Chain A
């Protein structure tokens, strides 16, 4: 029965050979003419990225006063964007590393672009706290180095742990991604007809020739990298959540934060993986590689993470009342009925109500429904981080210092701009690098042939 089920929704559809699968994926990079959709996407993404650069430049000139942040809400959009982008990155690592360790064959065709998603998301995330520093050009003061000021970082601060967590995550993600790319870059070097492409891909491929001993070290090194990247998913978002729970503000000072944040990160990350993969497979005709089975599996993981998030919401509320701490109780009441109540109820709608549709097989089989749900979850998770940060800060212990937060144009420009830059990087990636791992797909063809014979 298991076999019958596997037959009905295969990981790899159609009858491909080593040659045809290589050519099909390599040609998406080498032979495909410019698609009007890609050009239009590039135009919009470039325009928004220019807005991003303008917003950053203006911020550097004028300072964080151009944003809506002030006392009592000194953290708002930048931190919300930061947590949101880091979370999106985690699903990519989860797909490429954790599912590799679990020998989930279906990850093969989606790991490459998920890793790209991770790298571009961390790049956007890393910018946010730096831009929020006030004097961003001194961000390197967070890094320990012997300086003439004779000052060292304060190791007891989660904000210092952050730069180690995010920096390590960025470097390891890039190395892991690039290592997986090396055999594919060699394929592109060997397949491209123009001299300049051969030279460019040849330099990037580092002279890879597929020798058996090299493959052996490649397999070991790749597995080790996966094993090293997996705990980073947990540690990075735990450290991010500790930025909050080390503060004693009501709604932040909670031990549930690390698992709650990690589940939320994977939830939004898998939503972003769906948001990207559904248009990607349609535009490039990759339905044979990114099959209904992949979308179904991603949706199931999303549902699981969503349920952990729901559990966290429930317990956050329960513990507030159970603690009998009047500030904690007020915070929950303020979330539900205060001036930002619409955000709370939007979060509940997006993250709690909408995902329940994923219980139904028919919903998981519909790409349009999955795309809509994934976009809703992305919005919901952004709002959740906004709720955690702003609603806790705007009414703290002293009613005399209560206030409201209103975003300015520049707050919105930074958020929109980071989205534009992310899309721009992703469009460049699918244009110049194979969005699916070719060598792993050849191996999948081999395993399929061996299973058939």
Chain B
């Protein structure tokens, strides 16, 4: 039976190694909609949950190119086309003098792309999320490691998935409700 009241089932672990073990077992068991919540970045965890794509570096490159090319164009356009100032017959297109501002804007463009790309790809800011309803989830930013199997997973079944998570020997297993009003006794 598929339950629509819950976001998923969550298992709580006390070490990153236990979480990593749990994640790989869940993957071999056939689950695909897996989420893992940790208080610090755990090496190997993104690969373990099957996340191989990372578009942040590409955004940095694009942002840098846009910033640098835009700044060089602005300098060329203003100094050569729109506002040429003859200063002792020096060339208007004084490219060496355009480099410092071009460099700075390349860095700025890339940095803005990295920062806002990081937020956008993560879907942040997002002040409400169902996992915040889970009991003890505040420990995810302190000392606990959580594995969540989403209810949208094709293999998800409230009772069976609960039993599966119990085999991983977590501290406890509990349901993550969609809304805070839903009672939490499902444990």
**Interface residue count on the B side (C-beta < 8 Å):** 62
Q: B100 contacts A164, CB within 8 Å?
A: yes
Interface residues of A in 116-148 (CB under 8 A from B): 144
A286 to chain B, nearest CB (A): 19
Closest to A188 in B: B141
A158 partner residues in chain B, CB cutoff 8 A:
100
Interface residues of A in 87-130 (CB under 8 A from B): none
Say yes or no: A155-B79 contact (C-beta < 8 A), given A207-B129, A210-B38, A439-B40.
Answer: yes
Q: A211 contacts B35, CB within 8 Å?
A: yes
User: Does chain A have a CB within 8 A of B60?
Assistant: yes
Closest to B103 in A: A235
Interface residues of B in 142-165 (CB under 8 A from A): 142-143
Majority DSSP secondary structure for residues of B touching A: helix
Q: B118 contacts A155, CB within 8 Å?
A: no
User: Does chain A have a CB within 8 A of B181?
Assistant: no
> How far apart sit A427 and B110, CA to CA, in the bound complex (Å)?
32
Q: B142 contacts A212, CB within 8 Å?
A: no
User: Does chain B have a CB within 8 A of A187?
Assistant: yes
User: Does chain B have a CB within 8 A of A42?
Assistant: no
Closest to B83 in A: A152
Give the B-binding residues of A (Cβ under 8 A). 17-19, 22-23, 144, 150-156, 158, 160-161, 164-165, 167-168, 171-172, 175-176, 179, 183, 186-187, 189-191, 202-203, 206-221, 224-225, 228-229, 231-232, 235, 239, 242, 439-440, 442-443, 446
Q: A221 contacts B118, CB within 8 Å?
A: yes
A183 partner residues in chain B, CB cutoff 8 A:
39-40, 141
A213 partner residues in chain B, CB cutoff 8 A:
46, 49, 51, 122
| Other-chain residue from A154, A217, A231 in contact with B56 (beta carbon distance below 8 A) | A217
B115 to chain A, nearest CB (A): 5
B37 to chain A, nearest CB (A): 5
B90 partner residues in chain A, CB cutoff 8 A:
156
Q: A212 contacts B40, CB within 8 Å?
A: no
Q: A206 contacts B124, CB within 8 Å?
A: yes
Say yes or no: A228-B78 contact (C-beta < 8 A), given A208-B124, A212-B37, A212-B38.
Answer: no
> How far apart sit A187 and B101, CA to CA, in the bound complex (Å)?
39
Known interface pairs A155-B78, A218-B41; 16 further A-B residue pairs with C-beta atoms within 8 A, sorted by A's residue number: A22-B141, A144-B74, A155-B98, A179-B115, A183-B141, A186-B141, A211-B36, A215-B42, A217-B121, A217-B122, A219-B41, A220-B56, A224-B56, A231-B107, A443-B41, A446-B40
